[in-house]
Amino acid sequence: MTADSDAARAIEPVLHPGGLALLDSLPPYDEQDVLRRSAALRAAGHSPELVSAVLTQSRLRARAAEKFGEFADSMLFTPDGLEQATRLPVAALHARRFQRAGVASVTDLGCGIGGDAMALAGLGLEVQAVDRDPVAVAVALLNLRSFPTATARQGTAEDHDPSASEGLWMDPARRVTSRGAGRRLHDPEDYSPPLSLVLDLARRLGADGDLGPLGAKLGPGIDRSALPAGTEVQWLSWHGQVLEATLWCGPLAGAGVHSSALVVDRGGAHRLERDETGIDDPVPGALGEHLYEPDGAVIRAGLIGRLAEDLGARTVDPTIAYLTADRRIDTPFARGYAVRDVMPFGIKRLITYLREHRLGVLEIKKRGTAVEPEELRRKLRPRRFGTGSATLILTRIDGEQSVIVASPHRDLPAEDLP
């Protein structure tokens, strides 16, 4: 670890057994209590550096619970490392691919604080966690300490020898943290390491011109056509938010799968997939009794046509990702709404409607229109109309700006619906 690095200095005192023991002895982090706790630790004879380091780690552990659950309480973090780490349940889904493909040893190349490496090791796979950043390596080593099959060392993707393990996992850094305060990078050649190096490693890991067992986490905005044929790209959404697109090469790719969507919700992980031949776009048609808003992962994976087929649905406008059908079908791949009314968009008309129907609690959604939901809410001031609730969906129907008044299926028991 370089003595002149801020991150190194901030974490170094906790990497010693005494520092870690002190950190582990602290009560749950409480922002209101920091000054008092800091003074008490100083009065007990601990150095200012150690006190600052343990309180920082205590704060990061509290924040990390969202990604790592109870494991966070025995882990160390850097702020950037936590920000970039894969949440443990998602890392476990990645790890299972390696296990299912029979890949017994994996290098996590660019391991950060070791989020993905922990999940791989948790399945009993042999894991070499490698990062060019010595602070990340020190932290990953500590986070992997209870996994006998895992090690961590410093190294670079540029110098990596793919024959060191059967499989490779890569999660290139996609954020500019030094100058851009967390700004995300969209060109995969700006990732660190760049996509071209990831693909080169996949080729060198394979044999006879085939790509080897490599998985790589990419930004959800990745262009599928820029990635090789014969690989699977899986878009993953986590409780409605599209987090990543993962490139799966060689035996890690689903047989014949070109792209897939993995939608994780309270009910588990749900998968939809398509092959190279593509899927017909859904046909346009009249607005039915139900509207479906496909999950972002389904849209990005080019699976709207497949979802439409499954729902027996059509589009209200061929350029907009809303589907409509006459039946309610509950699916993890889309949010469903029962349509109550539809009208051309107009503020006066909408105000009259909301007043007549006493609708004051509004969720406002939009696709394919320039109207900004929050600006519209300011203009409507809906609270004055009553306590009834509705979802307003602003969109184009047959090229015309329209408002659909709807109720979310999740608020309606199935038997109340037409």
Ligand X SMILES: C[S@@+](CC[C@H](N)C(=O)[O-])C[C@H]1O[C@@H](n2cnc3c(N)ncnc32)[C@H](O)[C@@H]1O
Q: Which residues bind ligand X (CB under 6 A)?
A: 84-86, 110-116, 131-133, 136, 156-158, 171, 173, 192-193
Minimum distance from CB of 116 to ligand X (Å)? 4
Name the residue whose CB lies closest to ligand X: 115
Q: Which is nearer to ligand X, 114 or 213 (CB)?
A: 114
CB of 206 to ligand X, least distance (A): 20
Please compute, for residue 37, the number of CA atoms within 13 A of its CA located in the half-sphere on the CB side.
21
| Beta carbon nearer to ligand X, 69 or 388 | 69
Report yes or no: 357 and 389 within 8 Å, Cβ to Cβ.
no
CA distances from 252 to 56, 261, 273, 297 (A): 38, 15, 15, 19
Q: Which residues pair with 263 in a beta bridge?
A: 237, 270
Nearest-approach distance from CB 197 to ligand X, in angstroms: 7
Q: How far is the CB of 255 from ligand X (least distance, A)?
A: 26
Shortest CB 1 distance to ligand X, Å: 13
Residue position matching structure tokens 């006493």: 358
Toward ligand X, which CB reaches closer, 156 or 389? 156
Sheet holding 334-344, edge to edge: 314-315, 323-325, 290-294, 334-344, 400-408, 388-397, 359-366
Find out whether 214 and 204 touch, Cβ atoms under 8 Å. Answer: no
Place of tokens 């660190």: 192
**Nearest residue (CB) to ligand X, 70 versus 374:** 70
> Rounded CA gap, 134 and 4, in Å?
12
Least separation in angstroms between CB 54 and ligand X: 21
2, burial (CB in 10 Å: exposed 0-12, middle 13-18, buried 19+): exposed
The closest of 156, 174, 256, 264 to 217, measured between CA atoms, is 174
Nearer to ligand X, 12 or 171 (CB): 171
Q: Which is nearer to ligand X, 114 or 122 (CB)?
A: 114
